[in-house]
């Protein structure tokens, strides 16, 4: 769009928000509707797209994935002393949402291939106090859901899918976000489909629907009132304000409408990196993302796992000098200041500890051009060549 020109064209950022072109028109319509608070026409349209496309019983837009996770924590009725199993390799919100309710996080390590929760370690961490298993589909690549869901079912424990990365990803042909009792999405500006800050709670176990509507509306039965089911609305439960304004919902609808072209563009970008970096990775002792054959990924992220933490530091600095912004990702939560307060110690999650120091994410956004990707690939090759020259001279 002409009025949204890029800043310095020679700098390749890690992320750049994408505009489909119809955001302004839809926001203008939201303003013309004289209805800016939540749950108006645009919010309902976003709900319908998500419910139909994914096949979930209920989708509720929220102000962030963090808030959708907090709603999950409230819906589970967690209390002091309850335990929630969470991967150590994730964003703080995956854990904070449950800690806020008084639960104790029990950190589980990740698989070295997909960087998802290691399901082989799950059973040994379950105790009579375990009230939820929270899975994160890292980079939108599905966790081993058959095994995880079977274990959860056997112990009667609900599964919550933190699917911040994985909208439109699939496990064995079925959409991520449709397996757990509850699942969450993020529409933060770094995600494939975004509205700046936003998220959604997906409800697969319909027993949670009515209470979720109440919790999202400050603990009131306002939704029932609007549907004409009660003659006035009142305070019926605990809750907060988790619904986004119609302005954000209009923006999000503009992006959801072009989801097919967004996904196609991201597929091209991901495959370009994969094709042009395969040989590089082999000589650099690095590895590229792994996607099991039974998972369809949504092309959210492209990362490298480098041979050492030192090499990562040098590569970040090298790319920066060449106008390319690359970034690391999660630090293991069990070793964070808060994680240690819950008993986290070095060695508890060895794979997360090792990988987090070597992982580097490359620039990836919907309108990243092939010319810019080629610059990234060339810079990586030149970095490798310099290291080789240094080693032999």
Ligand X SMILES: Cc1ncc(COP(=O)(O)O)c(C=O)c1O
Binding site for ligand X (CB under 6 A): 64-66, 90-91, 93-94, 136, 162, 164, 186, 188, 199
Q: How far is the CB of 236 from ligand X (least distance, A)?
A: 27
Name the β-bridge partners of 266: none
Q: How far is the CB of 94 from ligand X (least distance, A)?
A: 5
Rounded-to-integer distance, Cα 267 and Cα 252, Å? 21
By 3-state DSSP, what share of the chain in percent is helix, strand and coil, each rounded to 5? 45, 15, 40
- CB-wise, 157 or 301, nearer to ligand X? 301
Calculate helix-pair angle for 259-284, 246-257, nearest 10 degrees: 70
Rounded-to-integer distance, Cα 252 and Cα 243, Å? 13
The closest of 366, 367, 272, 280 to 315, measured between CA atoms, is: 280
- CB-wise, 73 or 383, nearer to ligand X? 73
- CB-wise, 170 or 188, nearer to ligand X? 188
- CB-wise, 164 or 333, nearer to ligand X? 164
The 3-state DSSP class for residue 104 equals strand
Note whether 19 and 246 are within 8 A (CB). Answer: no
- CB-wise, 186 or 223, nearer to ligand X? 186
- CB-wise, 91 or 270, nearer to ligand X? 91
Q: How far is the CB of 72 from ligand X (least distance, A)?
A: 11
Name the β-bridge partners of 183: 161, 202
Q: How far is the CB of 164 from ligand X (least distance, A)?
A: 3
Q: CA torsion angle for 134, 39, 77, 176 (degrees, to 10)?
A: -20
Note whether 40 and 249 are within 8 A (CB). Answer: yes
Q: How far is the CB of 168 from ligand X (least distance, A)?
A: 16
Q: How far is the CB of 184 from ligand X (least distance, A)?
A: 7
User: Which residue matches tokens 């290291």?
Assistant: 387
Q: How far is the CB of 165 from ligand X (least distance, A)?
A: 6
Alpha helices in 38-121 (DSSP H): 41-54, 65-75, 92-99
Q: How far is the CB of 145 from ligand X (least distance, A)?
A: 16
- Rg over CA atoms, the chain: 22
Rounded-to-integer distance, Cα 95 and Cα 132, Å? 11
- CB-wise, 95 or 250, nearer to ligand X? 95
- CB-wise, 68 or 291, nearer to ligand X? 68
Query: The tokens of 28 are what?
Result: 């203008």
């Amino acid at each position: 769009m002409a009025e949204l020109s890029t800043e310095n064209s020679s700098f390749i950022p890690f992320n750049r928000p994408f505009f489909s072109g119809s955001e302004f028109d839809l926001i203008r319509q939201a303003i013309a509707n004289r209805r800016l608070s939540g749950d108006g026409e645009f919010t309902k349209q976003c709900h319908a797209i998500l419910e139909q496309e994914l096949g979930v019983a209920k989708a509720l837009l929220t102000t962030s994935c963090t808030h959708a996770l907090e709603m999950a924590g409230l819906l589970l009725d967690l209390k002091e002393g309850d335990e929630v199993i969470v991967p150590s390799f994730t964003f703080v919100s995956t854990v904070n949402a449950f800690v806020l309710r008084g639960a104790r996080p029990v950190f589980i390590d990740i698989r070295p291939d997909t960087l998802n929760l290691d399901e082989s370690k799950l059973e040994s961490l379950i105790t009579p106090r375990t009230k939820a298993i929270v899975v994160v589909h890292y980079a939108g690549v599905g966790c081993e859901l058959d095994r995880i869901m079977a274990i959860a079912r056997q112990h009667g424990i609900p599964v919550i899918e933190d699917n911040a990365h994985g909208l439109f990803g699939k496990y064995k042909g079925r959409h991520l976000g449709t397996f757990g009792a509850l699942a969450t999405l993020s529409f933060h500006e770094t995600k494939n489909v975004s509205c700046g800050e936003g998220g959604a709670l997906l409800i697969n176990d319909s027993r949670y629907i009515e209470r979720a509507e109440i919790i999202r509306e400050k603990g009131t039965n306002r939704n029932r009132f609007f549907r004409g089911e009660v003659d006035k609305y009142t305070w019926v439960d605990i809750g907060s304000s988790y619904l986004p304004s119609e302005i954000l919902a209009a923006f999000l609808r503009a992006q959801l409408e072009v989801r097919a072209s967004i996904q196609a563009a991201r597929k091209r970008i991901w495959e370009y990196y994969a094709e042009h970096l395969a040989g590089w990775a082999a000589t650099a002792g690095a590895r590229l993302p792994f996607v099991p054959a039974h998972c369809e990924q949504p092309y959210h992220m492209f990362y490298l796992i480098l041979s050492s933490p030192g090499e990562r530091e040098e590569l970040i600095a090298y790319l920066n000098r060449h106008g390319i912004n690359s970034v690391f990702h999660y630090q293991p939560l069990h070793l964070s200041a808060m994680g240690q307060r819950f008993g986290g110690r070095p060695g508890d999650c060895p794979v997360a500890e090792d990988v987090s120091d070597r992982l580097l994410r490359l620039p990836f956004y919907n309108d990243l051009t092939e010319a810019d990707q080629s610059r990234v690939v060339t810079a990586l090759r030149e970095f490798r060549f310099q290291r080789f020259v240094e080693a032999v001279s």
